[in-house]
Amino acid sequence: MKKLITALLLTSSMAANANSAEFTQKQLQQVDEVRTSALNSDLSYKLLESLTTEVGPRLPGTENDKKAVAWAQAKFNELGFDKVWLEKATFPEWRRYSESGKILTPSEQPLHLTALGNSISTPKDGITAPVVLFETLDELKAAPANSLKGKIAYINYRMNRDIDGNGYGPAVKARGTGAIEASKKGAVAYMMRSVSTGHHRFAHTGGSYYKEGVTKIPNVTIANPDADQIARLVALNKDVSVNINVQTESLGEGTGYNVIGQFNGTENPEQYVLIGGHLDSWDLGTGALDDGAGVALTMAAAKHISDVKRPKRSIRVALFAAEELGLWGAKAYFAEHKNELSNIVAAAESDFGADVVYAFESNVDAASLPVVRAIAKELAPLNVEYIGKNQANGGPDLIPLKNATSAPIFELAQDGTDYFDYHHTADDTLDKVTPAKLRQNTAAYAVFALMAADAKTTIKPKAQNK
């Protein structure tokens, strides 16, 4: 027991020393002020309410997307950011017009579906064809050539529920490339169970892709209860045929804008902490969880910091364009800034809903870990656990950054247990956001960004971070 107590005291002493080496007592008091301010403010919720109410869904290239850009510019200016600017991003523009479906045999009943992003249209009367069920994408790939001629390929893979959303990766592979594999086997359309943990009758949309040289076929996803119904019918050895009807359009190259706001640092303003989310959303709901919350809480976090102090380095909030269609805004941003990526001292994106931040992780060089541990200590009062493996992956809009260079990446991991009940559906609306949880998120980002920007040591990336 004495050895354990000694070890705990030593660990506590080391953490305290790390904090005192990187931050003065006054700086830590300022961190506490920022954290307290964020926990007692509804600024992030008010921003989110405004975005989802006054603008609504924000499919890239639409009028609402343009309104969102104007909204973000205006809000950055209202909040007093020192610099506010736009950066152009182009993307393949796509629209959804109408969609319907029904099971025809063995008995007629409704089929709740939605087109996947980038899907082509069916004929005006839809496509009627028998369904061939596969449990996984690999099963579909293994089907004999031309075995699906005149049929609809259907993947029944069910996503598992977990706090970190680890079931998303395996499920989303079928969403992205399922239509390609189905077409290779001769299918006339592709259908899949929603990438979802929910039980409500909402189909989940999302990005999908075609491949040059492979015939394009319509590409839809169905609600989980409808997926269960089809699976039961197949299990009863029933021949299942359906009609799917989706009317969509690809409009060629569209133009959007990343909206960026910055509070300048006092000593090294060219260096900056990068936080943010993506401004666009799918068209079915109002994009409250994905990613209005990330937009609102990072804007608010920066504002709370500026109200208390200006740190040594700048705080930059980037609201990326056209993430849902393929990270187009992020690609444009990091290409535009390719010669100054070394100025990013820390980067984190909020794009996983609005439940509480439960864990904190870094991906930095070893010499920067004392700063990371000091930040973790100040996140602990928010019930945020420090993982300490130094293997953070970051949010999706940071993928182009990681691909371009070694970078100091951070994760403030949100509880995703229920996120995929609503993700990419008509049910992604403001009522799914709990104000107290959004305040905790805002406080966590404010603490992280302030400390990363104000530390004595400049955080550095690992030599290899790809």
Q: DSSP of 14-69, one letter per residue?
A: HHHHHHHHHS-HHHHHHHHHHHHHHHT--HHHHHHHHIIIII----TTSHHHHHHH
> Which CATH number characterizes residue 274's domain?
3.40.630.10
In a domain, 87, yes or no: no
* 272 and 212 housed in the same domain: no
Q: Which residues in 397-407 are b (16+ Cβ under 10 Å) and which e? A: bbbbbbeeebb
Residue 290 lies in a domain: yes
Distance between CA atoms of residues 132 and 154, nearest Å: 6
Tell me if 235 is assigned to some domain.
yes
Provide mean pLDDT across the span 386-394.
Answer: 97
Q: How many domains does the chain have?
A: 2
Token reading at 71 = 């909204």
| 424 pLDDT more than 80 | yes
Do 241 and 382 reside in the same domain of the chain? no
pLDDT at 265: 99
User: Cβ of 461: how many Cβ atoms within 10 Å?
Assistant: 22
202-223: pLDDT as tens digits: 999 999 999 999 999 999 999 9
Residue 106, preceding peptide bond in cis (omega within 30° of 0): yes
- Residue bearing tokens 């799917």: 244
Regarding whether 271 and 418 lie in a shared domain, the answer is yes
Average pLDDT score over the chain: 95
Q: Which of 250, 277, 303 is the last residue of a domain?
A: 250
Nearest to 401 by CA among 357, 449, 454, 336: 336
- The confidence score (pLDDT) of residue 17 equals 52
Of 227, 250, 273, which marks where a domain is finished?
Answer: 250
Same domain, residue pair 124 and 208: yes
Are residues 379 and 294 part of one domain? Answer: yes
Taking CA atoms, 170 is separated from 27, 411, 415, in Å, by 44, 21, 19
Angle, CA 407 vertex, CA 405 and CA 408 arms, to 5°:
175
Does some domain include residue 234?
yes
Residue 176 scores a pLDDT above 90: yes
Helices (H), 215-320: 224-235, 293-308
Domain match, 154 and 294 both: no
Q: Please state, in angstroms and rounded to a whole number, the distance separating the CA atoms of residues 47 and 257.
A: 19
Measured between alpha carbons, how far is 295 from 330 in angstroms, rounded to an integer? 14
**What's the DSSP call for residue 457?**
S
pLDDT tens by residue, 243-290 = 999 999 999 999 999 999 999 999 999 999 999 999 999 999 999 999
**What residues make up the domain containing 64?**
14-82+264-454
402 and 437 share one domain: yes
Residue 316 is assigned to a structural domain of this protein = yes
CATH of the domain at 196: 3.50.30.30
Name the token pair of 256.
């959007």
Other C-beta atoms within 10 Å of 285: how many? 25
Q: Where are the alpha helices (DSSP H) in 166-211?
A: 168-184
Same domain, 73 and 107: no
Residue 9 has pLDDT above 90, yes or no: no
**Res 464 pLDDT > 70:** no
Residue 7 within any structural domain of the chain:
no
In this structure, is residue 3 part of a structural domain?
no
Domain shared by 99 and 68, yes or no? no
Together in a domain, 360 and 309: yes
Q: Do 232 and 292 belong to one domain?
A: no
Q: Does residue 462 form part of some domain?
A: no
- Residue 61 makes CB contacts below 8 A (sequence gap 6+) with 91, 93, 94, 251, 254, 255, 256, 322
Within this chain, do residues 418 and 270 fall inside the same structural domain, yes or no? Answer: yes
- Tell me the pLDDT tens digit for each residue of 350-384: 999 999 999 999 999 999 999 999 999 999 999 99
Using the 3D structure, point to which of 250, 284, 302 is the last residue of a domain.
250
Amino acid 5: pLDDT: 37
